[in-house]
Amino acid sequence: NVFPEVIFCQGKTEEQILAIAQRILEGGGSLIATRISETGYKAIKQAYPEAVYHEKARIVSVSRAQTPKMRGPVAVVSAGTSDIPVAEEAAVTAELLGNRVVRIYDVGVAGLHRLVSRRDDLVSSTVIIVVAGMEGALASVVGGLVDRPVIAVPTSVGYGASFGGVAALLTMLNSCASGVTVVNIDNGFGAGYAASIMNRAE
Amino acid sequence: NVFPEVIFCQGKTEEQILAIAQRILEGGGSLIATRISETGYKAIKQAYPEAVYHEKARIVSVSRAQTPKMRGPVAVVSAGTSDIPVAEEAAVTAELLGNRVVRIYDVGVAGLHRLVSRRDDLVSSTVIIVVAGMEGALASVVGGLVDRPVIAVPTSVGYGASFGGVAALLTMLNSCASGVTVVNIDNGFGAGYAASIMNRAE
Amino acid sequence: NVFPEVIFCQGKTEEQILAIAQRILEGGGSLIATRISETGYKAIKQAYPEAVYHEKARIVSVSRAQTPKMRGPVAVVSAGTSDIPVAEEAAVTAELLGNRVVRIYDVGVAGLHRLVSRRDDLVSSTVIIVVAGMEGALASVVGGLVDRPVIAVPTSVGYGASFGGVAALLTMLNSCASGVTVVNIDNGFGAGYAASIMNRAE
Amino acid sequence: NVFPEVIFCQGKTEEQILAIAQRILEGGGSLIATRISETGYKAIKQAYPEAVYHEKARIVSVSRAQTPKMRGPVAVVSAGTSDIPVAEEAAVTAELLGNRVVRIYDVGVAGLHRLVSRRDDLVSSTVIIVVAGMEGALASVVGGLVDRPVIAVPTSVGYGASFGGVAALLTMLNSCASGVTVVNIDNGFGAGYAASIMNRAE
Amino acid sequence: NVFPEVIFCQGKTEEQILAIAQRILEGGGSLIATRISETGYKAIKQAYPEAVYHEKARIVSVSRAQTPKMRGPVAVVSAGTSDIPVAEEAAVTAELLGNRVVRIYDVGVAGLHRLVSRRDDLVSSTVIIVVAGMEGALASVVGGLVDRPVIAVPTSVGYGASFGGVAALLTMLNSCASGVTVVNIDNGFGAGYAASIMNRAE
Amino acid sequence: NVFPEVIFCQGKTEEQILAIAQRILEGGGSLIATRISETGYKAIKQAYPEAVYHEKARIVSVSRAQTPKMRGPVAVVSAGTSDIPVAEEAAVTAELLGNRVVRIYDVGVAGLHRLVSRRDDLVSSTVIIVVAGMEGALASVVGGLVDRPVIAVPTSVGYGASFGGVAALLTMLNSCASGVTVVNIDNGFGAGYAASIMNRAE
Amino acid sequence: NVFPEVIFCQGKTEEQILAIAQRILEGGGSLIATRISETGYKAIKQAYPEAVYHEKARIVSVSRAQTPKMRGPVAVVSAGTSDIPVAEEAAVTAELLGNRVVRIYDVGVAGLHRLVSRRDDLVSSTVIIVVAGMEGALASVVGGLVDRPVIAVPTSVGYGASFGGVAALLTMLNSCASGVTVVNIDNGFGAGYAASIMNRAE
Amino acid sequence: NVFPEVIFCQGKTEEQILAIAQRILEGGGSLIATRISETGYKAIKQAYPEAVYHEKARIVSVSRAQTPKMRGPVAVVSAGTSDIPVAEEAAVTAELLGNRVVRIYDVGVAGLHRLVSRRDDLVSSTVIIVVAGMEGALASVVGGLVDRPVIAVPTSVGYGASFGGVAALLTMLNSCASGVTVVNIDNGFGAGYAASIMNRAE
């Protein structure tokens, strides 16, 4: 496997996280731990002082191996302030796997001009990740603007009939723009990882 | 009531439709019969030769009373070819209730330039109806472009995870553009009627 | 845009709220911050002493710009005691956007006489907002009583098969009274805003 | 069991229906066959010429045993023209089980005056059955008008977000009027039967 | 109205509860307050020392008016230990409204003999309330044993695919035993009230 | 694999079915083709005249290999007349895989005495299959009567809130009787196969 | 009943648990208490010092009676670290009921080699329990590898579109491997119990 | 846009299809018409004799423009015979957009050896499309075998709790293998198009 192994920390005890981290790092690999709490970070930090905490992305990383060569930058686009944790999870994952990442945040469908003004950044990316909650429409709009693979990440942000991200998920699955594929609700890591696999220069 | 009475024909027999039509027209009112089949039309036509068949909209009308004065035109915006029957139901309803209607069809979120090029028509309308199936996102985009009441009509067009219009319905209910309200799936009539009530000049 | 910009505070940190508030107010606009907590209010108050806290509505406002002229009063109708926070969010929003608001609270479908006794207030309004949880039926009844645009707001009040507002939402979408449109569950702000757009005197 | 046995014919072959009918009638009981097709009726008629076809209710009956004494009339209330088959299933069932039935059809929530004008008929009934599709609200309104057991029957009439009767079912389960209980979607027979058990004079 | 007014306390502040209680009691009626917390009870107790706390049922009552005459006892049947709070809400409600109540608890479908051994108590009741969570089947079994009106109350007890009471609700709505009607999930009060209306001796 | 290969014919063309059948039979195995139409049967019959048509079970079989030894009889229990096709699919599958099958049909929860009178047949079986639609409760009752593995098969029989078998499925998954496991809606074959694997004498 | 009685402790008070435990143990039986908290354990321990706490499985047991003879070992297979509590509930239940249990943990579908390397352990078991959350696919893979009864237990582990275990539940119900049956989400006890009934040597 | 325009024919009349086809082809582009019926094909064939009918894929194409250069072959993997129409829609789309396609059909999770034996074909592809109905698990297994972008297409094949493809959709969204993204149910075209965008050599 060309990419570092990953620990999904949610629902795991600190002991379990540390045990898996140890196995990975002693095997010579790099470590990415996602959905980690601050106390989880501190536990890893104590054992591995070179561990880095990406707070907004809720990720801890220990980089030891080299990352593969990539074909171009990855753009991460998001709509609302509350979507940023998931967007950062995607962006930091992509960076740790070797991509250069262009962040295009706070561009909503209800204010299209802000998005359109960043069109050049979108066109010059090889893969685009779109993170959006209630505003699931953003993936269609981005997919209509440029001819690039778009990975859509619905977020659980919202209330009422957003049903914890289901509304955004359905919007994205029904996207009328071709080239859009979708990952699980809030799965920023999955989007960052899939973007990296797509972006590898063989 | 300032507006003509309406017969929702789906699920009614021809006899039932004719009986209600007779009661309405003998009372001096105008008639609007929605979701009517061709044979239903013929039955009304035989009894009331002045009946008009709006085929695409699946509506039959007999206009006898005057319609109230309206404040401005109503725009009906739709995305896909398959959404046209519902869009026409909304447009013809609005026309029969006394509005001038501007049709802006075939403008999808994946091709924003077509929509943006019609911005003047949107701005000069007093109410806007947006009809969209898989592309539920269109309501947000229109709502973001202009400061007008937007009535969103999800359609049951689509397949798979569109769930007979539920995906579009949820997108519209979660619209991030303020000023958007929603009616039932495929309810073109309801949108045309609500637009007319909003558009009345008291 | 003729109306003040709005901050939806739920899910945002105080720092994020303050930063957006500063940008809006330095731009010369008025501020409406919805779903705000008491500590959020205090943070704004410290920076902008003229900030007003509408506690029941969970709204903080700073009014600096003039509001547009409206065509008539807006009625806000609600059924149960527990629906009042959402009703107040709608009412205060409508007031801050320049409308005179008539509150008709505590009128349930199971006690129709209370509602019918307020018929004059309904008739003299240009737009009516109906806020109801388990009593989703209220929108149909109001829509049947008067020829006015009715904006229905389902609330998440209830238990069991109310499914967090879904039962009321479906009732309202299926309303047999013409002229009823619907916004998201608990979206009092959206209803107040849509009512204001409908009510503007051009 | 004080009431005749019943055959639910939907999904059964004519042979199966006839075999069950024969067993019941040879046992000396009366027969009620619901959801029966016209050919099903003819098959029973041939074997039992005294069989009666209640066409609107889709019921065939052969009355041989005496029915128990009842405490008062049963009212069957319904809103729309399309709800009549289910309303008739309830009404005919109640009649066959020995009740006097008062039909109050075509009284919708959007036209309350028609319902209110029949208040006396409601008050003088011992049990009330309310049959309603999109207008699920009718059960609450009736329950609020009179102090009688109300059996609510949601119907699958409607389209879009009525979801085959689910919207009406949820409205009825959430009824704010006390004394309302609910049966399955389209289950007119069940309502008529439950009303009869409630109405028996012991 | 022959029965006392009721306050559903969940989601109401103590001030709101006290204000409604005062209005009711000063009007000369009896009071039933359901879903009340212990502090809610203490607040009422301070103002009205004759208030009685039915702890398991989460009900506070002040009895001042006479209850109507009833036709026979009401049986309350429940399956599991965790269903008892809802069963008690039903039982205490029925008692406060004037019924004699027979409690038949801890009789599950997986142990039919315990239920069958109580058959006499069921037969001698005029109305039967069945409260069941995962074991929604109990309503069908009771309905098959005796010819009495059965009011089924699904409870939110359970986990996994019980979906907060939806599984039990659906089982009960699909009951193959005639005479079964259903109320909302956990709505013990509604069942007790409906039973009382059915049980009144006119 | 000790059991014959199986063709699930629904959604396959006759050509596809024949091609798979040929591959299986030329390999020396026995053939079981489920969900087969009459024309599908005739196509197989023409090619393999020894093919047997189990009409009620919608199965065609060609038996060439020996079946493994079983530990005891398998009981197939079902409630309603309309559940028989699925029950027969289970029963015939079990027979073709080498089991002796005891059919206990037409025993519903609302008529427990019929089920209880067959208790000996249940006790003497090594595995029990319970097939039930609206009466999903039957699995719990059977599981409570005897200490045997119970495989529950929900059927799509029913209407309204049975939701195509979902109500029965949920009832069975929530069964309070230990020892009950569940297969997919209408999956009579799967139940028959699982029973056979459980029943094998090693 | 050949197996000890079981207390499902979730939702029960300590007093209720102790009372049931006392009744069981005084009757001479063994005790299994599932979903028990640590304080619940301590309460039992004080009364019955021989009580054993199986912490990971959240089970307390008091073994007094002999267990029946079994035909072979039971394998418990699970995929992720977070699935272990449910897997342990199944494994400990099976052990307490008299089975020898082989634990095969941490074998996911995305790393098939780990599972395949344990094929011998699977083949030599008489019943296999598969516990999996997001990895619902594991049941199909195991069912495809060996000819044994597979009891699939979906877990509520996961996030987003795992919907609290519904995704895994549906995957398992649709398993294309014959011989797979399913129990409720997180129902490790039910799986252990069903495995024991299947595994009994008569 | 580097790729030909596409007509989604489902729900469009022949006249509408022909009109769009004419506009595209007269603009000099190539044509891909998906979900087309045989009569739709004949209508295009008459106007454009060079039209090619890909029957299994339900696609008609007219190739006039050159396709972009691709980086490697695309693998299309599917499990069941009934999934082939969707798999072919994906494969033919990818071919028409310029990819070399390797078909790996009939490899189910319950028979892993068939899939593993094709591992070389998977490794040598740049993008992999996995089409699966009930067997939604296939995407995880393929994603675990090789480090390539996997586009998962759930199909509506199945019955009962497959819910028209929802079960497979959820399985795929919850895939534990990194690098998997998902498109709408039955959306073979979308998968083929997304694969082409990912596969382009810039």
Read off the pLDDT of residues B31-90 as tens digits, 9 standing for 90 and up. Answer: 999 999 999 999 999 999 999 999 999 999 999 888 889 999 999 999 888 999 999 999
D189 chain-E contacts, CB cut-off 8 A: 178
**Partner chains of A (3+ C-beta pairs under 8 Å):** B, C, G, H
Averaged pLDDT, F45-54:
95
pLDDT at H135 over 80: no
G86, G184, G186, G197: which to substitute to probe chain E, counting the most E Cβ within 10 Å?
A: G184
pLDDT band at G127 (very low <50, low <70, confident <90, very high): very high
Give the closest-approach CA distance of H124 to chain F in angstroms. Answer: 30
Nearest to B108 among A110, A136, A176 (CB): A176
CA distance B154 to A171: 12
User: Quick one: pLDDT at residue E135?
Assistant: 67
pLDDT band at D103 (very low <50, low <70, confident <90, very high): very high
Chain A residue whose CA is closest to H176? A190
H141·G136 Cβ contact <8 A: no
Give the closest-approach CA distance of G161 to chain A in angstroms. Answer: 6
Chain F residue whose CA is closest to H160? F185
C31-34 and C5-8 as β-strands: parallel, antiparallel, unpaired?
A: parallel
User: Quick one: pLDDT at residue H44?
Assistant: 95
Q: Chains H/E: 3 or more C-beta pairs closer than 8 A? A: no
D150, D159, D174: which to substitute to probe chain C, counting the most C Cβ within 10 Å?
A: D174
Chain A residue whose CA is closest to B146? A110
E188 chain-C contacts, CB cut-off 8 A: none
Averaged pLDDT, C128-147:
90
Interface of H with B (CB under 8 A): 10-12, 16, 20, 154, 156, 164-166, 169, 184-187
Residues 6+ apart with CB under 8 A from G152: G130, G132, G136, G139, G172, G175, G180, G181, G182, G183
Chain E residue whose CA is closest to G20? E81
> Which residue did the predictor score with more confidence, H178 or C150?
C150
pLDDT tens per residue across span C47-100: 999 999 999 999 999 998 888 899 999 999 998 889 999 999 999 999 999 999
**Partner chains of E (3+ C-beta pairs under 8 Å):** C, D, F, G
B159, B162, B186: which to substitute to probe chain H, counting the most H Cβ within 10 Å?
A: B159
> Which residue did the predictor score with more confidence, E118 or G109?
E118
Asked if G157 and G190 touch (Cβ cutoff 8 Å), the reply is no
Q: Mean pLDDT, chain H, as a whole number?
A: 92
CA distance E185 to E132: 10
Give the closest-approach CA distance of B96 to chain A in angstroms. Answer: 32
Averaged pLDDT, E112-133:
93
Interface of D with F (CB under 8 A): 10-12, 16, 20, 154, 156, 164-166, 169, 184-187
User: Quick one: pLDDT at residue G110?
Assistant: 74
CA distance E65 to G149: 64
pLDDT band at B202 (very low <50, low <70, confident <90, very high): low
Q: Map tokens 């239940």 to a residue.
A: G93
User: Quick one: pLDDT at residue C1?
Assistant: 65
F194·G180 Cβ contact <8 A: yes
E82, E109, E114, E169: which to substitute to probe chain F, counting the most F Cβ within 10 Å?
A: E109
B108 chain-A contacts, CB cut-off 8 A: 144, 176
- The closest alpha carbon to G21, from E56, A141, E81, belongs to E81
pLDDT at D42 over 90: yes
Chain C residue whose CA is closest to E1? C111
DSSP structure string for D73-85: -EEEEE-SGGGHH
A11·G161 Cβ contact <8 A: no
CA distance A109 to B109: 10
Give the closest-approach CA distance of D161 to chain B in angstroms. Answer: 6
A159·C12 Cβ contact <8 A: no
G79 chain-H contacts, CB cut-off 8 A: 176
Q: Mean pLDDT, chain E, as a whole number?
A: 92
Nearest to A11 among G157, G160, G161 (CB): G157
Share of chain F above pLDDT 70, in %: 99
CA distance D24 to D13: 17
pLDDT tens per residue across span A97-110: 999 999 999 888 77
pLDDT at G202 over 70: no
Residue C19 Cα distances to A198, C22, C44, C197, angstroms: 37, 5, 10, 27
CA distance G77 to F179: 19
pLDDT tens per residue across span F80-116: 889 999 999 999 999 999 999 999 998 887 778 889 8
Q: Map tokens 């026409």 to a residue.
A: B88
The answer to which of D186-200, H30-44, H103-117, H179-193 has the lowest mean pLDDT is: H103-117
Q: Mean pLDDT, chain G, as a whole number?
A: 92
User: Quick one: pLDDT at residue E1?
Assistant: 65
pLDDT at E66 over 90: no
User: Quick one: pLDDT at residue B89?
Assistant: 97
Size of interface D-E (CB pairs under 8 A): 75
Chain H residue whose CA is closest to F169? H161
Helix, strand, coil percentages (3-state) for chain D, rounded to 5, are: 45, 20, 40
Chain D residue whose CA is closest to E196? D179
Averaged pLDDT, B142-150:
93
ipTM: 0.93
pLDDT band at D161 (very low <50, low <70, confident <90, very high): confident
pLDDT tens per residue across span D120-156: 999 999 999 999 998 688 999 999 889 999 999 999 9
User: Which segments in chain A show pLDDT lower than 70?
Assistant: 1, 135, 202
Nearest to A167 among B79, B80, B174 (CB): B174
Give the closest-approach CA distance of E12 to chain C in angstroms. Answer: 6
Nearest to H147 among A169, A189, A197 (CB): A197
F12: left (phi over 0), alpha (psi -120 to 50) or beta: beta
Asked if G145 and G177 touch (Cβ cutoff 8 Å), the reply is no
E31-34 and E5-8 as β-strands: parallel, antiparallel, unpaired?
A: parallel
Averaged pLDDT, D36-41:
93
User: Quick one: pLDDT at residue F126?
Assistant: 96
Give the single-character DSSP code of F83.
G
pLDDT band at D162 (very low <50, low <70, confident <90, very high): confident
**Partner chains of H (3+ C-beta pairs under 8 Å):** A, B, F, G
Interface of G with E (CB under 8 A): 10-12, 16, 20, 154, 156, 164-166, 169, 184-187
pLDDT band at E27 (very low <50, low <70, confident <90, very high): confident
G159·A185 Cβ contact <8 A: yes
User: Quick one: pLDDT at residue B158?
Assistant: 86
Q: Chains B/D: 3 or more C-beta pairs closer than 8 A? A: yes
Chain E residue whose CA is closest to D128? E198
pLDDT band at H202 (very low <50, low <70, confident <90, very high): low
pLDDT at F58 over 90: yes
pLDDT tens per residue across span B56-70: 999 999 998 888 899
Q: Mean pLDDT, chain F, as a whole number?
A: 92
Chain A residue whose CA is closest to G134? A184
